[in-house]
Amino acid sequence: MLSHITPEGQPGMVDVGAKSITHRTAHARAVVTLPESLTAQLADGEIRGKKGPVFQTAIIAGVMAAKRTSELIPLCHPIGLDDCKIEIHLNERGDAVIDCRTSVHHKTGVEMEAMTGATVAALTIYDMCKAVSHGIVIKEIHLVEKRGGKSDYQLRQD
């Protein structure tokens, strides 16, 4: 059963009033495929464009978005994050890999905040680089891990 559907079949926020405050963490990842025209512009692992340093700007945008998740996703609870860290690196194929890690002491988890942070960081890379190429592909956004609350989750790497 979906947690955001009332017994009457209507959308509703989950009541977390009776839940205990616990330490909760989440790790989400986005992968952005960059065309060669962009990877050729890399200097010290960073693309520097007319709008500024792409990865650094994407990190800031992702953190800002994670903090505002409840304003973007209708039924998310507003959460004052304890921490949000975003790292961006290039993998062996030249893809930009964005890892967003969030944590909080709260009655509800932070996986949507981590997913939102990674997603907006990926969109920022696209926005800042689209003048060079529209061949940028945001090909993957997923939850890697969450801890705390009713259950833990870790993506299986087969």
Q: Do residues 112 and 106 touch, judged by C-beta distance below 8 A?
A: no
Q: Which residues are catalytic?
A: 127
Q: What does residue 125 show for φ and ψ, rounded to 5 degrees?
A: -60, -45
SS3 assignment, position 12: coil
Could you give the strand order of the β-sheet that contains 52-53, starting from the edge strand earlier in sequence?
Answer: 42-43, 46-49, 52-53
Residue 4 has a pLDDT of: 67
* Architecture of the domain made up of 22-148: 2-Layer Sandwich (3.30)
Residue 8 has a pLDDT of: 76
- The percent of residues in the chain predicted with pLDDT above 90, rounded, is 58
Listed as ranges, residues in the chain with pLDDT below 50 are none
pTM for the model stands at 0.88
